[in-house]
Amino acid sequence: MIKSFMAFVVGVVLSASVTAASESQINRIAGNYTYDEYVMTLPTGENVGLGYLGISSSKLIIQEDKSITLIMKLLDGTTVSQTATILEMGSFRNKEYWLAKWPDVVQPVRTEYEIVSEGLTYEIRFTDPSDERLFGKIERATLVRQVP
């Protein structure tokens, strides 16, 4: 009985500390960003940019409610947007990350990021073999924070 109560207390404390850590993280990065640099490395090793993907410009909006909205202006002039939900935030091996569920991706996507002087840099490694469209690709970007 005491062991199960102790396990419950430890679980509550850990849950509260993870929640507090993620609240602190989201507050530090919440904002509007534009893509300054973007490179996707294909499984063949070839590097491609936004233009190759049919995108002329892109913005990322990270909100304190843990939603991320990606707004892309396509080369044909149309605008496409998607919103993801951040499921988890944390640090691992001196890297901060968020785990987000995007509507068009099979599994949640882990984004490792670093806060830099003008915004954020990030890297995503698509490692889920069940997602044939993205498996083996690596996405890297530098985002500039927009001043309100």
Over the stretch 16-50, which tens digit does the pLDDT of each residue have? 334 444 678 899 999 999 999 999 999 999 999 99
- Give per-residue pLDDT as tens, 97-126: 999 999 999 899 999 999 999 999 999 999
pTM of the full structure:
0.81
Does the domain at residues 2-145 carry the CATH identifier 2.40.128?
yes
Q: Domain map of the chain by residue range?
A: 2-145
What separation in angstroms does the CA of 39 have from each of 2, 5, 36, 125, 137? 53, 50, 10, 12, 10
With cut-offs at 50, 70 and 90, classify the pLDDT of residue 10.
Answer: very low
